[in-house]
Structure 1
Amino acid sequence: MSKIDVRPVGTSPSRSFRLDRQNDKIWGVCSGIANYTGIDATWVRIGFVVSAFISVGTTALVYAAIALIAD
């Protein structure tokens, strides 16, 4: 039985998450997530800000962890 490739058109099999140092505001986490997922960085940033207020700071810890672990 052969393996079927179900990737979206135009994506490479070795796509990996990287911080975006060119379009960063703080550490490049939101712009890196935006590049990885293919959505606008503004929406990712808005999502992080809203979730930081809702989660009473837990999102800020996740953001810092991503910044320290990635790249």
Structure 2
Amino acid sequence: MEPKRLYRSRRQRMICGVCGGVAEYFNIDPTLIRLAMVLFGFTGTGILAYFVAAVIIPDEL
């Protein structure tokens, strides 16, 4: 069995596909991840974490 890999999503993409990729990895609705990111984004570090993840996480094949 092939291990699960985290990728930025091409299908569930709004900005960079990070939230969609995380949602696909955990098999949950991308809207829940996006809402969590918005709440986390109010701290200021959430925005930085999103863009760092967009650079580090590879695009879906």
Structure 2 unaligned spans of 5+? none
- Larger fraction in helix: 2
**Would you say how many aligned residue pairs link Structure 1 and Structure 2?**
58
Shift in Å, 1:70? 0.8
Q: Which has the larger radius of gyration?
A: 1
**Match of residue 54 from structure 2:** 67
Shift in Å, 1:51? 1.2
1:58 partner amino acid: T
Structure 1 unaligned spans of 5+? 1-11
Amino-acid identity (%): 34
Q: Where does structure 1 differ by over 6 angstroms across 4 or more consecutive aligned residues?
A: none
What is the TM-score normalised by the length of structure 2? 0.88
- Bigger relative CO (Cα 8 Å, ≥ 6 apart): 2
The RMSD of aligned alpha carbons is 1.0
What is the TM-score normalised by the length of structure 1? 0.76
